[in-house]
Structure 1
């Protein structure tokens, strides 16, 4: 009875796989000239472009299918692209669709477009003007972030959702300032604006002063980030909320002042606090020294972010909470000390830990060497983020968890050991570790987070152990040196995006498998694993396994042994595996 049950389960699995393959084939990637596309409901979505750039006119159809969508990252980092015309009929421009197209100077958005995705034109540094047509009802977050040459965003008058005033983008009611083009050097914010949106003035490096009207009640995330020309800013009485990162990377900013009758905020020595003075919210990036007042009990998220001149800082006794990204991009910081009477935090050799010394919270970015105590069991979120001077880190075997962004931007790292007890690699964990050439992911890791190894250009080969159940969104994006990625499980879920694995990377996996499905859908080179007994290597044991199953491929083990899938386990299968011994 047990054998019948296993056999039934096997055939049920085959049926499920067959059904999944059938459905996935409907959206497998195809190539038409310079364009990679997928078909959904009879319409083509462009997911990749391999042309030389220059002046590009996207065709109305691809192999007879009407083009209706520019997919996520479809033209991202196409440095040679200078001008692009999108055909009438396209309704959506996806996330990061033209991200990093640094040479793009003009783009024609047709009247049919209704949505523009997040970061759609991010870092299009040569783009000078853009026109938003009538039907656009959704513009994603940070769509024009980093467009350093942009002088004007123009919205056609009959658009029902947006409008422009003096080249600046607002909501239709004129109460939300959404985006100020980065090349603008002066602006008069109209009275009546109540909200300065997320990243609204980001990268407006030419702005030297700005007057916030009394009608403004909220300042959004990153609203004035990278406004390097600002030296002072005044928060009026009306402001009730200031979001994170509102003033990060304003390196010239040395003073934030607050109207004395503001009910929510105050300032002391140019530093922004809550009204009671117990929460330190923002230290201006231009300050090089600070003495945190004794009454402070909490240090807010991003509070000292981008304070590049700070070299040391002392955490006073009463501090019970230190937020996220607090010391990020403090590149000169080499010493964090904590009052000995503080009950929540401690320091060892200038590094910030919890009081028990089991969690490494922050390694100052100015350090070039570190000795992590054996007592440490957890590497906190962003613990080594931005430590570009570190070339080698030995992680104690007792460590069981890496937080998100744990080694974000550690460009000097060439290799790192991941202890056997670690079960997950967090989001952005090794993002931007461009010097990393070798990493061994141990058996036991079950998940690899979003963007985990993105921009690790030095990685050439990586093996995903059998234990990994999921690979996150854009996990290996822009790993330009990655030639091979091997999946040792047939069931690992790979995030369904063309950007998750680079287009030039060879995918090695089982047949059938999720890895093969991904390779087929996104037109990647695929190589079948010949490790029949799944012990991690191809050797004589695989030949013995095949030899024990000679005959019709009628059992589970026999089907594994039927390498060429001709229904018989025979000498041809033995020869196929023999050719791969040692690989």
Structure 2
């Protein structure tokens, strides 16, 4: 059951457990289990609390993945045990849940409140059934419950605290109360705590901006289940938002097929936008989304004939560059003050790359900061794919039109072996080739690129 030497206790607060786990009895006299006191103790299976404990701190049992029972002293005036749950003495509040709980958890009748952090980190939980009568879910009550599949908040729920669903990625949340106020913080940063929100009784305009994409997913899902479930005015508000924000909704649509079907039904994906969307679906092995997009392509725009493909390829050979529409799939770029182009981002997937000399009628004269680099932060899965692709680049050839390579342009291209730099380059920024351990620069003898390579101890070959 453990010895007192396994505990760090300060003024009655158990701040850290250092023992081996198993069944553990907290020493008598402890009045509070401190924040993250048992964090990471995967071998912990049961905790027996003394009568003196009056408070459990946030995330006290975080990552205790085998802890299935927290036993309260039978004479405790504050708590009682019911299965994997610790309830307030009279059963009105859920104080915490053993994080080793798996499957679906039934909240007992008579519970009015889910306390702050009560289920935080219970990632093995797949379902939570709340009875009518639950009135509030407090701060981070369900944070990081990544295994939850669906949750319905009964009509009695009138308050949701900050970050209740933070880091959940909840596939579907159903809200029944028409008067529930949703603050933007409820769902965590960028509304990422929920992926599909069904809230037919709430005004769409009242929803936080960060959660509106999830609400749109819920709207399109319910539209397929029960077409008349939304008030006509609310339906018009949803449809107007989808039309105005359609590009922002492309990524959620790949993960939520009812939204994708709606976009296709209303012809809100253009012919030029379709290839990038289809490429992303194929790359991430989204089989159903890929099939829907291919069907939409053939139905709405017609399959590309061999003759059309041949003409396109012939134009590319004759002009020495791809059409602008094709280039946009591979490159991001913007105008410089002199009217020429600067490449700002490589979006392709090839390991051997040739930068275009022209885009439309204007020449490309600069490689922008981080255009090929990996030194930026984003939560987008698509950009994470770009990062991995750039790390696998082997060769990049710059055209004779390039004059400037900006700072960090190739930073973090760990596999890049050959960079062909023309003699036209007259400026290279700081750290342009940081973390490129395999790099050799191929350039013209006497060029600025040769000088730069010498000064920065970069391998080069000059002819």
User: Do they superpose with TM above 0.5?
Assistant: no
In which range does the TM-score fall when normalised by the shorter chain?
Answer: 0.3 to 0.5
TM-score (normalised: structure 1): 0.36
TM-score (normalised: structure 2): 0.43
